[in-house]
Amino acid sequence: MNNWYYKKYIISLILLISTCTFAQRSPGDMDRFIDALMKKMTIEEKIGQLNLPVTGDITTGQAKSSDVAEKIRQGKVGGLFNLKGVGKIKEVQKLAVEESRLKIPLIFGMDVIHGYETIFPIPLGLSCTWNMEAIEKAARIAAIEASADGISWTFGPMLDICRDPRWGRASEGCGEDPFLGSEIAKAMVSGYQGKGLKSNNEIMACIKHFALYGASEAGRDYNTVDMSRIRMMNEYMPPYKAAVEAGAGSIMASFNEIDGVPATANKWLLTDLLRNQWGFNGFVVTDFTGIAEMVYHGIGDLKTVSARAINAGVDMDMVSAGFTETLRKSIDEGIITINTLDKACRRILEAKYKLGLFDNPYKYCDLKRPLKDIYTKEHRAEARKIASESFVLLKNENNLLPLKKQGNIAVVGPLAEAGENMVGTWSVAAVLDKTPSLVKGLRETLGDQAKVVYAKGSNLVSDTAYEKRATMFGRGLHRDNRTDKDMLEEALKVSANADVIVAALGESSEMSGESSCRTNLELPDVQRTLLTELLKTGKPIVLVLFSGRPVVLTWEQKNVPAILNVWFGGSESAYAIGDVLFGDANPSGKLTMTFPQNVGQIPLYYNHKNTGRPLGEGRWFEKFRSNYLDVSNDPLYPFGYGLSYTTFNYSNIAMSSKDLGMNEELTATVTVTNTGTRDGLEVVQLYIRDLVGSVTRPVKELKGFQKIFLKAGESKEVTFKITPELLKFYDYDLNYVCEPGDFNLMIGGNSCDVKNASFTLKM
């Protein structure tokens, strides 16, 4: 029987190869191969390639009897997503390549957002490293692990510029700045896709969410977006465009509307801009139920919105089943053409071809790979190093940090013993019980050098908040039924003999991410009460702050001596936090989103426009100026801000010339000196202001950065090259231009503390 099955398998494989031919190994022959294949396809099979259903978990042995299995056999499925396990994926792939009529392989996708089983910091935290090599390495490792488990397609990177931290998905993006976002986009696509998807450890990227999703009104998920074309092109589109230019293979339409038309049915967005102007040649997939949700937007029934989506440029329908249920009828009625269907089908087949699935449908199904490629010691070491580089030191009064590895250390707070919570949002493949808690990590780091004692101190949120939304509790973060008074008394008792208190407070993993928007960004009331009482002890306190977004820390900045924002640092968080707290690693993270003084300032971002009545620099309030009555216009912590255990001094800027011609370049150089006693990393940031334009221009824009390592006492020259290309922007008519005139140039360690120079761009 086994021998018979083996012969049958070999015959099936030979038939598959003969159907597909080896000609498709040459990229130049892709069109001929797909032409030949599509001639054999029925309309229903073409529509089937556009179908991406949800499967749930298919256990081994059940795949052949599930509902989706029959659809696969009938050629009515193009791919599946979030199915974990190479054995399960191989079993399902066999249905497609051995039991369907044309034996077209499936594509398997997953939300591999910031790691697979080795989890890296949430994307917002990753962006705070300002280290493109590290970010690309994190994506590369994620691709290696995901591909080892059968995944060939990831729904990332998320490149939505966000300037409103109320939006929960700020955690999933790369901050507020389009220049930095574009650099991250290129690094992530390169990390996922490697050297062109040739290897079985390279997976296809999917840019999301196209477009403008991070600008939803009121910071509320899925909400309306309405902005001018000039603003979207200058401030929101650059990261998407950079990812397209980097060769990303697919793109995901966003939930929001643009110009009154949902992105999923927006022809200007998906065809005129994305394909015709930017030259994108991959495929477009909807977000989860994106087509069906347009019915609620009020632009038609399922048949109508499905036709609008494919006519706009959507190629694959995620979950809605709008294509499989309605497209044939729309074709018969002439609402969509066969040519439109063929274009969409071709793009899906091209993606599978580029992935090498026609040549080898089991390319990502090596059952030996998971053991040697997933959650390895080497991968975890990289995750630990990168996590420590993502943490942002917000305050360090009297150099309280780093702590000494001695004495009694009290670790207090609802996030101190929450290992499963450390990986943060969108870590769908993580094995949560492998992630140590902060307490466990610190104990392992310290060994017998110091004693670590623990008390929870409070629940994450008050009883009232919990009753309103129990899901605010993160994974592995269970509600304690003791009274607030009992937990507080325990914390104070545990802390009484401590030399220092580490307060592990902030958000849970589930308080940020999709559908996790907040209007109050301060510490939850019970945590603030706990922190207040701990401060009354007079003990030195380090606030280790967990968050998935900028939060309001005005009170904490005033009252707490040291604040270390650790975001959600991934599977090695606990060890990385210990590395930084005790000085084995020097913090070098810099903020990529502005922290406001209060929620009323939002949206608050560094590269804003001036008004006709700007507030004078350094002023709190002036009559008839653009300011508030009750708070200054200043942020609590500006974009680019982050402290170190050492200090850095910047020289004045040396310019190679004060004039720049249209075909020339000039250089701006500063000398950066480590004036402290510890080695450290510094992010040197370049900002430029276009002083006079045909349209209003931002007060400053990030135009370059370099992360440098300096030993204590060491100096280095850092040089930036300035070209006319660097000065281009979209004008009123959406022409991409640079205009002659005067420019200010600023270099420093954050967007506020800078050295200044100037130059003139001449015709």
Q: Give pLDDT tens digits for 362-392.
A: 999 999 999 999 999 999 999 999 999 999 9
Does the structure show a pLDDT above 80 at 85? yes
Say how far apart CA 503 and CA 506 lie, in whole Å.
Answer: 10
| pLDDT score of 697 more than 80 | yes
* pLDDT at position 20: 41
Strand ranges inside 625-723, DSSP E: 648-650, 654-655, 659-661, 666-674, 680-690, 701-710, 715-722
Q: What is the mean pLDDT of residues 407-412?
A: 98
Q: Which amino acid is at 180?
A: L
Cβ neighbours of residue 509 closer than 8 Å, sequence gap 6 or more: 421, 422, 423, 424, 425, 474, 475, 477, 548, 568
Catalytic site residues?
A: 287
Range of weakest confidence among 164-173, 557-566, 608-617:
608-617
Q: What is the pLDDT of residues 496-548, one digit of tens each?
A: 999 999 999 999 999 999 999 999 999 999 999 999 999 999 999 999 999 99
pLDDT band at residue 23 under the 50/70/90 scheme: very low
pLDDT given for residue 712 in this prediction: 98
Interatomic CA distance for residues 107 and 349, integer angstroms: 10
Q: Where are the beta strands (DSSP E) in 37-164?
A: 51-52, 79-81, 107-110, 153-154
Question: How far apart, in whole angstroms, are the C-alpha atoms of residue 202 and residue 152?
Answer: 7
- Within its chain, how far is the Cα of 435 from the centroid? 21
Give me the domains of the chain, ranges plus CATH numbers.
Answer: 376-592 (3.40.50.1700), 646-762 (2.60.40.10)
Give 182-218 pLDDT, tens digit per residue.
999 999 999 999 999 999 999 999 999 999 999 999 9
Whole-number pLDDT of residue 424: 96
Q: Is 272 helix (H, G, I), strand (E, B) or coil?
A: helix
Rounded CA Rg of the chain: 27
Q: Which residue in 702, 703, 694 sits closest to 741, CA to CA?
A: 694
Average pLDDT, the chain: 94
pLDDT recorded at residue 6: 45
Checking if the pLDDT of 397 tops 90, the result is yes
Helix/strand/coil for 589: coil
Quick one: average pLDDT of 304-320? 98
504, β-bridge pairs: 544
Diameter of the chain measured on Cα atoms: 90
User: Quick one: pLDDT at residue 466?
Assistant: 58
Name the residue type at position 438: L
pLDDT at 222: 97
Question: What one-character DSSP code corresponds to residue 215?
Answer: G
The helix or strand, by DSSP H or E, that contains position 262, with its residue range, turns out to be strand 261-262
| pLDDT for the residue 28 | 72
Q: Let me know: does 737 contact 763? Beta carbons within 8 Å.
A: no
Q: What is the pLDDT of residues 614-644, one digit of tens each?
A: 988 888 888 889 999 999 999 999 999 999 9
The Cα–Cα gap between 599 and 604 comes to: 9
| Per-residue confidence band for 470, with pLDDT thresholds at 50, 70 and 90 | low
pLDDT tens digit string along 557-599?
999 999 999 999 999 999 999 999 999 999 999 999 999 999 9
pLDDT tens sequence across 109-154: 999 999 999 999 999 999 999 999 999 999 999 999 999 999 999 9
**Residue 513 to residue 371: CA distance in whole angstroms:** 30
Tokens of 89: 């994926």
**pLDDT exceeds 60 at position 59:** no
- 469 confidence band (pLDDT: 50, 70, 90): low
